[in-house]
Amino acid sequence: MADDLIVVAGGGGFIGAQLVRRVLAEGNVKVRAVDYAPVEQWHEVSKDADNLVLDLRLADACGEALAGASTVYNLAADMGGMGFIEANKARCMLSVLINTHLLESARRSDVRRYFFSSSACVYAASKQLVADLEPLSENDAYPADAEDGYGWEKLFSERMCRHFTEDFGLITRVARYHNVYGPHGTWTGGREKAPAAICRKVAEAQVSGHHEIEIWGDGEQTRSFMYINDCVEGTRKIMNSDIDVPINLGSSEMVTINGLVDIVEEIAGIKVTRRYDLDAPKGVRGRNSDNTMILEHLGWEPSIALRDGLEHTYRWIYDQVSAVRAPR
């Protein structure tokens, strides 16, 4: 509605910044972007948004962030790729404070709709033991056996959303994101995910002329990767839908990590020697998104091909690597 205030928690992050830009482009609303990091560290800053730096782990900060809001997107979390979440379980679980305080502030502020970005890490480990697995449907989160730390925080927060709907009438929507990637995402520093990490390693190999990269695991673990544009589109569709249960938001195009490297090699126009670190963090053996529910409810699913998304992502990361390695 015209003049509604939409709050994006985590609005300085990769997905949050793109969502802020998308909502502003639709017009007729006011947008407040909130993030813990200093503004100069945000992935992107929209000058037409009300940009606030607040620690949303604190109840008072959540109250300030949601003052006057009609709609809330909670994308805020302390997270990263598998290397980060395996080494920082307590830090990841502390993100439960963000969702808890935001939900309570939303209830007190008469927010109409609330979105929570969950993760495919909520799915039971026993359903992800083989590479060539059946796609994970929404029912596969139970009996609960989520990724230790990060996955349990997401699963608990999903339940919080459900009970705030049941007890207080707050309309909540929950999407389980599957591996989001794209230009302007985290590509170095330890929090990057597989597509960005592989793109960086191949770009470094191309720039340096030393055509060797390290791969975590044996390279035969499987995943699906969703391009950022599909993620933002799906997030908006789910928020405005009548889907009142957690739902997958991910690509159904499954690929091995070795297959991912094959695609990036083709884009870069080089071949690399692959050195496998079998002791590195590698997560579950296989994971892919079953999109039956989202197709039934929305007649839509993420559809940007992995090859096309990686083309844009690699070119952007290559430019970052080249800039870092350029002589001063």
Q: Each residue of 151-176: pLDDT tens digit?
A: 999 999 999 999 999 999 999 999 99
4-180+227-249 sits in which CATH class? Answer: alpha beta
Confidence check: pLDDT of 328 > 60: no
**Percent of the chain beyond pLDDT 90?**
95
- 1 has pLDDT over 60: no
Question: What is the model's pLDDT at position 28?
Answer: 76
Write down the domain spans for the chain.
Answer: 4-180+227-249, 182-224+253-289+305-325
SS3 279: coil
Token pair recorded at residue 27? 């017009």
pLDDT for residue 297: 97
Query: What's the whole-number mean pLDDT along residues 236-247?
Result: 98
pLDDT for res 277:
97
CATH topology of domain 182-224+253-289+305-325: UDP-galactose 4-epimerase; domain 1 (3.90.25)
- Interatomic CA distance for residues 307 and 214, integer angstroms: 21
Residue 307 pLDDT: 98
Q: What is the pLDDT of residue 3?
A: 65
Task: Tell me the two tokens of residue 226.
Answer: 């969703």
Distance CA 14, CA 253 (A): 22
The catalytic site residues sit at: 150
**Higher per-residue pLDDT: 82 or 255:** 255
- Sheet with 247-249: list strands edge to edge: 50-53, 29-35, 4-9, 71-74, 113-119, 171-177, 247-249
| Residue 27: band (very low, low, confident or very high) from pLDDT cuts 50, 70, 90 | confident
- Asked whether residue 2 carries a pLDDT value surpassing 90, the answer given is no
Domain 4-180+227-249 and domain 182-224+253-289+305-325, same fold? Reply is: no
